[in-house]
Amino acid sequence: MSSISLLRIAVRGRPVKSSFFRSQTRLPTKVTIGCANARTFSKTAVRPSGDPHGEETFEEFTVRYEKEFEGVNDVFELQRNLNNAFAYDLVPSPSVITAALKAARRVNDFPTAVRIFEGIKAKVENKGQYDEYLKELEPIREELGINLKEVLYPESS
């Protein structure tokens, strides 16, 4: 017999009726974890859509984000909405960019306003499209006093 087996036998010993360390209460033998109806945990409503894939058109996207930017009250909401808008595989329309710039002005966040144009520059396919956006958004940039990164930090080449 190994020494570990002897140690186990010695430790177990004879059961003592009045044990100082053992509780006198008995635990239930069967413990039920979980619930019979798993749907009781969900608090979200199922929203069926008419479109099987839930895709939205560019016009619906534009209207949705214009409303989102109109309701912005702080910098966190502004940046979250910008991240969501630029995460799609498209460049937001100038009306969405205008609403975002006005929201940046409303929450007094100049750096984010400048970064919006950097996001446009990263999303467009070529410099010609970027120039078209700049030309389209020139009046709002002048009205709000927003400079481009190229103007603020000219290249030292």
pTM above 0.85, yes or no: no
- Contacts (Cβ under 8 Å, ≥6 apart) of 66: 95, 96, 99
Amino acid in the structure at residue 83: N
- Domain borders along the chain are 58-145
pLDDT in tens, 44-100: 444 555 655 568 889 999 999 999 999 999 999 999 999 999 998 889 999 999 999
Helix (H) and strand (E) counts in the chain: 7, 0
- CA-atom Rg of the chain in angstroms: 32
pLDDT value for 80? 95
Rounded to the nearest integer, the mean pLDDT of the chain is 79
Distance (Å, whole) CA 65 – CA 130: 20
For 58-145, which CATH class?
A: mainly alpha
pLDDT value for 150? 86
| Tokens read off for 149 | 């990164």
Distance (Å, whole) CA 133 – CA 117: 9
